[in-house]
């Protein structure tokens, strides 16, 4: 039952965020301000990752609409976000919808990437990839996807070696950890 409630909440959040994202994207596109929107999305994503206070502000139901609106508008002005994004964040605060901000950013990233003919690949490696390795992987994935590939790389030393690549609905796991797990399962079946 708890899993159903969480998935329903995520679905509702995605739906709300999708509507806001579409509206913001269309406004930016019509105003020929997609580059500014892309910059806003990147800056907000970085700020959300770095600031626990910002994450608490957008997710806490304890703040009044006025306090949330004033705080998020202050943050937007300090970050020098575009008027469209600033106004959208203020509107979301007055409607008590700031909790969908992470979903909004993800939706906007997808819309911008689609507009640019790009697709993002999530790549997890055991150690940081060099620029040459990243470029070679992007070129290989471009041949598979038929679009320019932007790599979002993270490091997980527990993989021991190899990569996990997620491109759309496809996942390729060449990690040593995965291979050892498969070997362990095979050994269990034999014994």
The reported pLDDT for the residue numbered 15 is: 83
Domain boundary among 64, 83, 114: 114
Cβ(113)–Cβ(77) below 8 Å: no
Domain boundary among 71, 99, 114: 114
Could you write out the DSSP letters of every residue in 46-71? HHHHH-HHHHHHHH-TTS-HHHHHHH
CA angle centred on 106, ends 13 and 49, rounded to 5°: 100
Does 99 lie in the same domain as 21? yes
Cβ(59)–Cβ(112) below 8 Å: no
Question: Model confidence over 47-106: pLDDT tens digits?
Answer: 999 999 999 989 888 888 999 999 999 999 999 999 999 999 999 999 999 999 999 999
Question: Model confidence over 145-186: pLDDT tens digits?
Answer: 889 999 989 999 999 999 999 998 899 999 999 989 888 888
The reported pLDDT for the residue numbered 1 is: 47
Does 148 lie in the same domain as 101? no
Does 107 lie in the same domain as 133? no
Question: Model confidence over 18-39: pLDDT tens digits?
Answer: 999 999 999 999 999 999 999 9
Does 108 lie in the same domain as 45? yes
| Alpha-carbon distance values, 36 to 32, 133, 169 (Å) | 9, 30, 29
Does 82 lie in the same domain as 7? yes
Domain hosting 69: range is: 2-114
Domain boundary among 62, 80, 114: 114
Cβ(122)–Cβ(94) below 8 Å: no
Tell me if the pTM is above 0.85.
no
């Amino acid at each position: 039952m708890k899993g159903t409630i969480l998935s329903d909440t995520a679905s509702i959040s995605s739906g709300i965020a999708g509507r806001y994202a579409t509206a913001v994207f269309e406004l930016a596109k019509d105003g020929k301000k997609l580059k500014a929107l892309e910059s806003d999305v990147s800056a907000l994503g970085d700020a959300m990752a770095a600031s626990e206070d910002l994450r608490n502000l957008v997710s806490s139901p304890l703040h009044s609409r006025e306090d949330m609106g004033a705080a998020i508008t202050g943050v937007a002005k300090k970050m020098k976000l575009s008027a469209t994004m600033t106004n959208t964040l203020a509107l979301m605060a007055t409607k008590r919808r700031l909790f969908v901000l992470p979903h909004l950013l993800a939706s906007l990233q997808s819309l911008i990437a689609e507009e640019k003919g790009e697709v993002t690949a999530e790549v997890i490696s055991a150690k940081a990839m060099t620029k040459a390795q990243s470029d070679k992987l992007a070129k290989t994935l471009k041949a598979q996807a038929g679009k320019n590939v932007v790599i979002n790389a993270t490091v997980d030393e527990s993989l021991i070696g190899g990569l996990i690549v997620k491109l759309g609905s496809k996942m390729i796991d060449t990690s040593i950890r995965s291979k050892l797990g498969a070997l362990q399962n095979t050994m269990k079946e034999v014994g």
